[in-house]
Chains A and B, each alone.
Chain A
Amino acid sequence: MKIRVFVTLKNGVLDPQGKAIHHALEGLGFDGVSDVRAGRLIELDVDENVRDEDVQDMCKKLLANTVIENFEIERN
Chain B
Amino acid sequence: MKAAVIQFPGSNCDRDMKVALEQVMGAKTLLHWHGDADLAKDIEFIAIPGGFSYGDYLRSGAMAARSPVMKAIIAASNRGVPILGVCNGFQILTESGLLPGALMRNASQNFICRDVQLRVNKDTLFTKGYADDEIISIPIAHHDGNYFADEATIKTLEDSGRIAFRYAEDVNGSIANIAGIINKAGNVLGMMPHPERAVDSKHGGIDGQKLFHSLVKELI
Contact = CB atoms under 8 A, between A and B. Distances in A.
B is a partner of A = yes
Which 7 pairs show the lowest CB-CB distances between chains A and B?
Answer: A67-B102, A68-B102, A16-B109, A16-B105, A20-B109, A16-B107, A65-B102
B59 A65 contact: yes
A7 B114 CA distance: 32
B173 to A, nearest CB: 7
Contacts of A63: 58
Decide if the interface of chain A is mainly helix, strand, loop or mixed: helix
B105 A67 contact: no
A38 B129 CA distance: 43
A28 interface: no
B62 A16 contact: no
Nearest to A67: B102
29 contacts: A13-B148, A14-B104, A14-B107, A14-B148, A14-B173, A16-B104, A16-B105, A16-B106, A16-B107, A16-B108, A16-B109, A16-B173, A17-B109, A19-B109, A20-B109, A61-B66, A62-B58, A62-B62, A63-B58, A65-B62, A65-B95, A65-B102, A67-B94, A67-B100, A67-B102, A67-B149, A67-B150, A68-B104, A68-B148
Contacts of A17: 105, 109
A62 B54 CA distance: 14
A14 B107 CA distance: 8
A17 B66 CA distance: 26
Interface residues of B, number: 20
A27 to B, nearest CB: 15
A22 to B, nearest CB: 12
A57 to B, nearest CB: 13
Contacts of B109: 16-17, 19-20
A68 B58 CA distance: 14
Nearest to B151: A12
Interface in B54-70: 58-59, 62, 66
B101 interface: yes
Contacts of B106: 16
Interface string B73-114: 000000000000000000000110000111011111100000
